[in-house]
A = this chain, B = another copy of it.
Amino acid sequence: MEAQYRKRRADLVTWMARNSIAVIMLEDAEGRRDPAMRYFSGHPSDAILFITVTGHAVLCPWDVNMAERLADVELIVPYSEFGRHPVEAVRTLTSRIGVPPKSRVEIPSGTPYPLFLQYVEALFEYDVLCREEGGASAEIARMRSIKGPDELEYLELACSITDGIIDEVERAVTKGSIRTELDAALFIERLAREAEGGERTGFETLAAGPKRSYCIHPFPAYTNYEFPGPGLSVLDFGVVVEGYTSDVTLTIASGELTAPQKRIVKLVERAYDAALGLYRPGVATRDASLAVDELFRAAKKTMPHALGHGIGLEPHEGPAIRNREDNGWVFEPGMVVTLEPGLYDPKHGGCRLENDVLITETGNRVLTHSRIIRI
């Protein structure tokens, strides 16, 4: 495991050298979570991480006990040394590491503008960078979008546990032992954490019975309402292995569907099949998204969300798979992404079908087997 963190840092250092960056600072804090922290150090949360172009990693964690157990870095400095103030920590550590004045120090692209001003003032000796395009955050997103062998192993295990849970859910709803959205969500939570290698669910499970399935993301995520009831019910969840999450959605079609419900289901299945053929290396992800938009438009329907996204340490990460004009992502081998067409009708309910897909050298391999379950 530790070798992986060092290899990733070495890859980043190569990019830093090419771009004349002396230090990259990463921060994971409440309201500004950044799994890149874990990606480069093994430390999961609440810390500042410095990576220098000389190849050193310095971690400034909130919980030192946890860091000593989990972090693979050259140096750990307790956050409490700096009055728990990130700007003070960054100022002191940058000078302690011995970064030469006028060097380029890159801070996260998510840094709020008022905090950015504080960093610029505290690091007045340095050239502080904070940018999206061409910056460290974009490079890290690009690195993270192509999964390495160890990451693929975790994701494949997460997907295999997920498939097992889908089968268990099908059995349970068929025999009637799941009666509410709450039953469904806790059933999944327990299976995810009891599975060998399973860490937790990847995000709050969404369970929407027929009354709420018209919502893309029902709110609250699950309640004591009937699930599954007559009509369309939707279940969206993921399983985490070593931090890496799967993300699937299945629709349960219960009883005799109305004509509009049948049409929604059929269109979603058609969109899924059509898009899967476009999930291959070299295709712009935007083109896959536009193809589905076109298919739905011909049926006078609109999908109110993206067609998919990358998965990994975050349930949503690069590549984006959506129709926005500024989406420049192209499918590449090693990407693991979702395909999740969905249609939603306030009167008839919703249907979404989502699976996880590995882009291969020649096309793709579908890693999960979510489906429309008819009971």
> Chain A: residues with CB nearer than 8 A to chain B?
30-33, 44-46, 62-66, 70, 80, 83-85, 109-114, 116, 130-132, 182, 186, 189-190, 193-194, 199-200, 214-217, 219-224, 302, 304-305, 316, 322-326, 344, 346
Contact = CB atoms under 8 A, between A and B. Distances in A.
Nearest to A316: B30
Given A84-B322, A113-B113, A220 B194 contact: no
A112 B114 contact: no
Copies of this chain present: 2
Contacts of A344: 65
A324 B214 CA distance: 46
A74 to B, nearest CB: 21
B302 A80 contact: yes
8 contacts: A45-B217, A63-B304, A70-B219, A109-B114, A110-B112, A114-B131, A182-B190, A199-B220
Contacts of A222: 193, 200
Contacts of A302: 80
Given A66-B215, A304-B62, A31 B221 contact: no
A112 B190 CA distance: 37
Contacts of A326: 85
Contacts of A190: 182, 186
Contacts of A63: 215-217, 304
Contact of A65 (B85, B116, B346): B346
A172 to B, nearest CB: 16
A39 B4 CA distance: 44
Contacts of A223: 193, 199
Contacts of A46: 217
A85 B62 CA distance: 35
Contacts of A44: 219
A116 B214 CA distance: 34
Contact of A182 (B85, B132, B194, B217): B194
Contacts of A113: 109, 111-113, 116, 130
A216 B182 contact: no
A2 to B, nearest CB: 18
Nearest to A132: B114
3 smallest beta-carbon distances between A and B, as pairs: A113-B116, A114-B132, A113-B130
A66 B182 contact: no
Contacts of A70: 219
Given A45-B219, A85-B324, A199-B223, 18 more contacts: A31-B33, A31-B110, A45-B217, A62-B305, A64-B304, A85-B326, A109-B113, A110-B112, A111-B112, A114-B130, A114-B131, A182-B190, A186-B190, A193-B222, A193-B223, A199-B220, A200-B220, A200-B221
Contact of A186 (B112, B189, B199, B305): B189
Contacts of A224: 193-194
Contacts of A316: 30
Most B CB atoms within 10 A — which of A114, A215, A346?
A: A114
A41 to B, nearest CB: 14
A13 B62 CA distance: 39
